[in-house]
Structure 1
Amino acid sequence: MAIARSPTSRRLPVTKVALAGAGVAAAGAGVWLLRVFDPNAPGNPFPPCLFYATTGWHCPGCGMTRCLHALVHGDLGQALAMNPLMLVAILAAPLLVAWRMGWRPRVLQPLARWMSTATFWLGLIALYGIARNLPWAPFSWLAPG
């Protein structure tokens, strides 16, 4: 005899709902800040890149705030000029989240299995950080600006 599941067994834990709500609120606040304030203008509330200020080199995250500002304002070309890796990460994130939640279409399995590892992303970020500081094309195109 099979035991029927009660409706309460399918509910999400309160902590997951609270974390999801906090994430949505934080994302909304970030979008609002990026809509209202221009990170390119003097006196904006966004902190500068400490790595760039200290070393003069572009870190993998340099230009990320300006990239997101351009995306919020619908300027895809400017966003791509500021931080191309950020656009790749934004496009890949929903697919990787869906992959982790169990959606696994056969056509994406080789790529998603490879991209869902921390080793892939750490290696990519390290290589990107080095490549965007090289002074010749096409690597110089990766620097924000």
Structure 2
Amino acid sequence: MDASTDPAAAPARAQAPAAGPVPGPPYPPVLPPAPVPASRIRRLATPVAVMAAVVGAFGYVGAVDPNEPGHYPVCPLLRFTGIYCPGCGGLRSAHAVAHGDIAAALGSNALAVVGYAAFAVLWTLWTVRAVRGTRMGLAVRPAVWWGIGAVALVFSVARNLPFGSVLAP
């Protein structure tokens, strides 16, 4: 008998798959490990570090008086054109805030005082959410940024005109 006619010697033929669902593996699929929730101290590290930097900056400006010449550089726009920019008087404003004199701070740069207040509100919200373990998720639309720019522009123009001399530092 020849090997081509012997059924035992014939190579095994591939069987067609059975109709119906194909059974899965006998073990569950491997999933990536679930993220470990960060500890409260780790969640608070960044807001605390940011506040430490802000307190350090206000401490320095509070200790080194910007009203005395020679401690800080002069605003280049003011120096070369005589025009107050939106930030002119900001260091004097920060110095007054560091000493608790809000009226003097508003007189030096009212827009900066509004910025300090906005920072305080956002930082508090950030810290509360960090304690609770939720994300900050602050998405600011472009229209808001344009609005902030428009307010800064109007503030700059107004403080350089005679009727806006109250806003000048």
**CA-CA distance at 1:6 after TM superposition:** 5.7
Q: Which has the higher helix share?
A: 1
The two structures have a TM-score, normalised by structure 2, of 0.61
CA RMSD of aligned residues (A): 3.5
Aligned to 1:60: 86
Query: In the alignment, which residue of structure 2 is the partner of 1:28?
Result: 55
Structure 1: gaps of 5 or more residues:
104-112
The alpha-carbon deviation at position 11 of structure 1 amounts to 5.2
Pair 1:122 & 2:157 matched? no
Q: Is the 8 A contact 2:59 2:98 kept in 1?
A: no
Pairs aligned (count): 127
Question: Residue 82 in 1 paired to residue 125 in 2?
Answer: no
CA–CA separation in structure 1 for the residues paired with 2:88 and 2:168: 8
Q: 1:141 aligns to what?
A: 166
CA, structure 1 residues 93+30, in 2 after alignment: closer, same or farther (shift >3 Å)?
A: closer
Question: What's the CA shift string for 1:14-67, capped at 9, x where partnerless?
Answer: 8x87754653343232122122111011332x2211110011010010000000
Matched, 1:43 2:70: yes
Matches within 5 A, 1:86-105: 86-96=112-122, 98=125, 101=136
Structure 2 segments unaligned to the other structure (5+ residues) = 1-32, 127-134
Give how far 1:95 is off. 3.8
Deviation (angstroms), 1:7: 7.3
Higher Rg of the two aligned structures = 2
Between 19-28 and 117-126, report the one with greater CA deviation. Answer: 19-28
Superposition misfits of 4+ residues, deviation over 6 angstroms: none
Select which of 27, 30, 36 maps to 1:8.
Answer: 36
Instruction: Determine which of 126, 132, 139 is the counterpart of 2:159.
Output: 132
Q: TM-score, normalised by structure 1?
A: 0.70
C-alpha distance 36-20 of structure 1, shift in aligned 2 (>3 A): same
Q: Deviations over 1:67-99 (max 9, x none)?
A: 000000111111010001111222223445639
* Bigger shift: residues 68-77 or 21-30: 21-30
Q: Percent identity?
A: 36
